[in-house]
A and B are shown apart, each in its own frame.
Chain A
Amino acid sequence: MTPSPAAPFSSATAPVSAVPDSVVPDSTAPFDPAAEAARATAGILADTLHGSARGVVVDSPPGAGKSTLVVRAALELAAAGRPLMVVAQTNAQVDDLVLRLAEKEPGLPVGRLHSNDSDPYDKALDELDNVRKSAKAGDLAGLDVVISTAAKWAHVQGVEPWGHAIVDEAYQMRSDALLAVAGLFERALFVGDPGQLDPFSVVGAEQWAGLSYDPSASAVSTLLAHNPELPQHRLPVSWRLPASAAPLVSDAFYPYTPFRSGTGDGDRRLSFGVPSDGSGPDRVLDEAAASGWGLLELPARHTPRTDPEAVRAVALVVRRLLDRGGAAMSERSEEAVPLTADRIAVGTAHRDQASAVRAALADLGVTGVTVDTANRLQGREYDVTVVLHPLSGRPDATAFHLETGRLCVLASRHRHACIVVCRAGVGELLDEHPSTEPVQLGVTVKFPDGWEANHAVLAHLAEHRVHWRP
């Protein structure tokens, strides 16, 4: 047996997502975001409804209208009389989809397949006339659309397979989870954001690294390894990220699948009724209002994760954001919209940091602001985000803190501005921890890696830095 010839230099080395398609934004031509997005959606729907491939893959960068696409595809499949199952990853995602479908098409018969746990679904679903809920798939047979989590679908057996499926958040789904449900459908539309946090396993899975069906890899990587000919699409426009953020997020986290902002410079404006008092939090707010980014840098120091000064700085920034009468102007309305607590989120890397920030906000009398970890902020959208930098004050940079997806989630939740609170010295910390990771043969490299992406984001933030000694 000779070693496989030719293979070494074939396309095996090209990242999967680098496959060209028709919607690469051309930076020289005038860019009409609505038209580009519509063209991409039309292509996706055509392949889904009329194509011959068993699968269609859609990469969706942050805020590019993934949910809208899923709802639309579901409605069109239902309208074409094709029974559809939808696989999402969490119960919250499932309930959200059911609500969106019912909002768009109140008469559509939808089944919500749920677990046997107590409180298995959002009580709001009880208000919807055409949504049937059951823990048994058999009870929901014949409905136009049946929606559940991958975990619940995995236990469904002995039913007629569905003609179509939509797999939502497919990049956050593990390959073994897809294996457990793929027998339930003939063909499927896979939609997800490749830049967010990868699925993981609590035990070692190195022995399968490099296998096309590595059970700990993402569902999409297994799917494409076995079916490289499947049509791959991409939503080219982020409607969430402002013009100030899309280029950075695109370059740092999506170098092979670039996207653009749906809005232009000046389409979004953030202003304050109360002028700056000259403090660090106020200065960084002004910087972020003007440029979309702000870095509030505290003096270098090694700290525990719940760095009291940094936590308090985060809380103060939020307090001032509310006190200064923030108003957000965007393409959504003629009038500026008051920046209220529900339009603000704080993102952290760890749960204990989130609870420390919640406590600090409560001390300052702030309520109603979302505070959560990157994992839980995935898929959510706010006007302004305040981020405690994952590497702030750390004496070391572990793989967890360097993970590309974590930083990507934190830096891409906002419609107007993102303010990062961080100890000085992260650049040096990165230099002391160059990635010397082991390399598994045959594994498609996820690029850029966290080390590189962190440097890129840090370099950009440095241009919007406000030094502050709390």
Chain B
Amino acid sequence: MSLIATLARLEAVERGRAQPLATVRHRRVSERPLVFVPMTTAGEAGAPLGALVGTDPEEPRLLVVAQPRDRDLRSAFLAELADVVLPYLDGFGDEVEHVERKETDAETGKRVTVEVELCADAPQLIVPSRAGVEFVRLLGRSMRFRRTAEQDPDTPYPAPPRVPLLGRWLTHYGERARVPGSSLLLAATDLLNRHWATGQSSLEDQHLGALLAWIEADDGPDGGSGAEAALRAELGRDREGMLLCPPAGPATDPVFDNRRLAPAMERYDRARQLLATAEDGGSADERLGELHRAEREIRRLVADQMRPTWSAVWRTVELMRALPEGSRVEDRWTRDRWSFTAHRDRVRAGEPPQPRRDDAVTAAQKLAARETAQAQLEAQEALDDPLVLAGRRLAGEAFLSEVIDVEMAWSESKRPSPRPLVTVRTDDRPHLGERVKVFRSLEGRPQTAEFVRYEGEGTLVLRVMDRMGRAKDPAEGSVPAKGDRIAWTLFEHDQRGGPKLPDPEETPWTHGGPPRTDTAEIPDLVTPEDLL
């Protein structure tokens, strides 16, 4: 943690209220996000318990699995989830803009310009916490290899239609969430933690309720209210021992499981058994009523556990919307739109689901892309936000300066180019060495200069190297002027992509050779008995 962030935490303790870590919003918050609050059954990897999902804070769709160990009920849950999520995703697929892009022609190998579609906006999923993001991945993994009866009439326990498709989308969103700075799938806790420092540790900040308690605390004269509210959110229980602020999931509170959920499920199971053994219509009706009552009770219990989190996520959305968006967020969101569009195209082209594990080339490509995205994100956040830049200045990776002198000079070549020497003053302490490059943002694009020498404490000379036009004299406004206040960075503003990797079919012997193509991903084994 940088010392500036540490100070923000200490101030938060002192004032009893979270303190800002950013002055602008560094993530896109969509105008119409889909919020997804899932709950799962303790100890069971593939058994969702319920979810609240939807785009309207006032009207969440409630999905509950009354008996998570019942395969049919689990299937029904997934089908319902697909009914809510897929139309939302599909709603973004057809509104497109046409963009020109350079591609390598497959036949000639030449670079050609092609016109492609780019979705005008992309769907955004917001879950409460990182565990929620992980759960999206798990759901995606558990669904995308399922087979429907249509795909394979002999498949045991066929999945409802569209469930494998939802699995592919959730997998794509789960993967995209690993790209630094992307906003397709966000955790509310990550959003808040990026922008505020609380008076507790980053581990405790993973508790959405406690985190919001710090951020929403009043800045009263007494202070300390954030800490108390956070403690109540963490540990407060009602007279019957239930948490006042249930966990943001997907894991449940064990006390809730043991005291409330387990007895309710027992009643439900018993009612089902009785119904199955009913001998005449009259007693069947009565027993069916009993079953419905038992089911309603479970739905109510599970909904009560999820509703505070649903509201907390929407409050997070509102808090984030109140911050002005950083100017380079749009650039990263465009990449998210490309990502969404590309997956849309894969689905429409009928490509198979993503494999269980990446092949060597894909893994290397993803890692390289994420490292580029990470460097890009760090640079963009610093350029968008003086408070982030302050951290880089403290670390000696950037400096704020005032221009005190400009002396024209030219390169020594047949066609001399301008290489003006700029003398600046700074109170910062950048880690400069001979010919270290520094960059400033000129009309949104980077201009490079080289460190030349120090001229006494806090005064240094830079040589501007580029972006001054092709003529002998620099273009208007391209050279810093005396009195300009300029932020220079030692890090580059744009990132070059990595080298081209071989095609997967050309994976070299050092990495096991080309992956086998004759082994299509087969569905997971299913447990024969109706238990997980």
Contact = CB atoms under 8 A, between A and B. Distances in A.
Interface string A105-146: 000000000000011000000000000000000000000000
A54 interface: yes
Interface string B417-444: 0000000000000010001000000000
A98 B147 CA distance: 59
8 contacts: A176-B364, A179-B364, A179-B508, A182-B510, A201-B367, A202-B374, A213-B364, A215-B367
Interface in A203-240: 203-205, 207-208, 211-216, 219, 222-223, 226-227
Interface of B: 178, 180, 357-358, 360-361, 363-364, 366-368, 370-371, 373-375, 431, 435, 498-502, 506-513, 525
Contacts of A154: 498-499
Nearest to A223: B510
A211 B356 CA distance: 12
A183 B363 contact: no
Contact of B370 (A175, A203, A211, A219): A203
In the complex, the 8 A-B pairs of residues with the closest C-beta atoms, listed nearest first: A182-B508, A154-B499, A176-B364, A213-B360, A215-B364, A226-B512, A182-B510, A203-B370
Contacts of A151: 499
Contacts of A215: 360, 363-364, 366-368
B364 A212 contact: no
B509 A211 contact: no
Contact of A213 (B180, B363, B502): B363
Contacts of B510: 55, 178-179, 182, 219, 222-223, 226-227
Interface of A: 1, 54-55, 118-119, 151, 154-155, 157, 175-176, 178-180, 182-183, 201-205, 207-208, 211-216, 219, 222-223, 226-227, 351
Task: Output the residue of B431, B509, B525 with the most chain A CB within 10 A.
Answer: B509
B367 A216 contact: yes
Contact of B499 (A180, A207, A214, A351): A180
Contacts of A155: 499-500
B472 to A, nearest CB: 21
A208 B511 CA distance: 14
A219 B364 CA distance: 12
A55 B508 CA distance: 12
B130 to A, nearest CB: 12
B187 to A, nearest CB: 15
A157 B499 CA distance: 10
B501 A180 contact: yes
Contact of A208 (B358, B368, B371): B358
Contacts of B361: 179
Contacts of A157: 500
Nearest to B450: A118
Contacts of B375: 202
Contacts of B513: 226
Contacts of B358: 207-208, 211
Given A201-B371, A213-B360, A215-B367, A179 B509 contact: no
A213 B512 contact: yes
A58 to B, nearest CB: 16
A244 B112 CA distance: 65
A175 B178 CA distance: 20
A406 to B, nearest CB: 20
B361 to A, nearest CB: 7
Given A207-B178, A226-B512, A227-B510, A179 B371 contact: no
Contact of B371 (A178, A180, A203, A219): A203
Contact of B501 (A179, A203, A205): A179
A203 to B, nearest CB: 4
Main DSSP-derived SS at the A contact region: loop
A202 B371 contact: yes
Given A119-B435, A203-B367, A212 B512 contact: yes
A219 B511 CA distance: 9
A222 B508 CA distance: 12
Given A155-B499, A176-B364, A208-B363, A203 B509 contact: no
Given A201-B371, A212-B512, A226-B510, A183 B502 contact: yes
Given A179-B360, A180-B499, A214-B363, A1 B525 contact: yes
Task: Output the residue of A179, A201, A204 with the most chain B CB within 10 A.
Answer: A179
Contacts of B502: 179-180, 183
Nearest to A55: B510
A151 B496 CA distance: 13
A292 B139 CA distance: 59
A179 B514 CA distance: 12
Contacts of A54: 509
Contacts of A351: 431
Nearest to B359: A213
Task: Output the residue of B357, B435, B499 with the most chain A CB within 10 A.
Answer: B499
Nearest to B508: A182
B499 A183 contact: no
A226 B498 CA distance: 24
Task: Output the residue of B371, B506, B513, B525 with the most chain A CB within 10 A.
Answer: B371
A426 to B, nearest CB: 23
Contacts of A213: 360, 363-364, 511-512
Contacts of B499: 151, 154-155, 180
A175 B367 CA distance: 11
Nearest to A216: B367
Contacts of B366: 215
Contacts of B363: 176, 208, 211, 213-215
A19 to B, nearest CB: 18
A178 B363 CA distance: 13
Contacts of B364: 175-176, 179-180, 213, 215
B257 to A, nearest CB: 26
Contacts of B368: 176, 215
A344 B271 CA distance: 83
Task: Output the residue of B500, B508, B513 with the most chain A CB within 10 A.
Answer: B508
Nearest to A185: B508
A203 B374 contact: yes
Contact of A182 (B370, B371, B498, B511): B511
Nearest to B509: A54
Nearest to B513: A226
Contacts of A205: 367
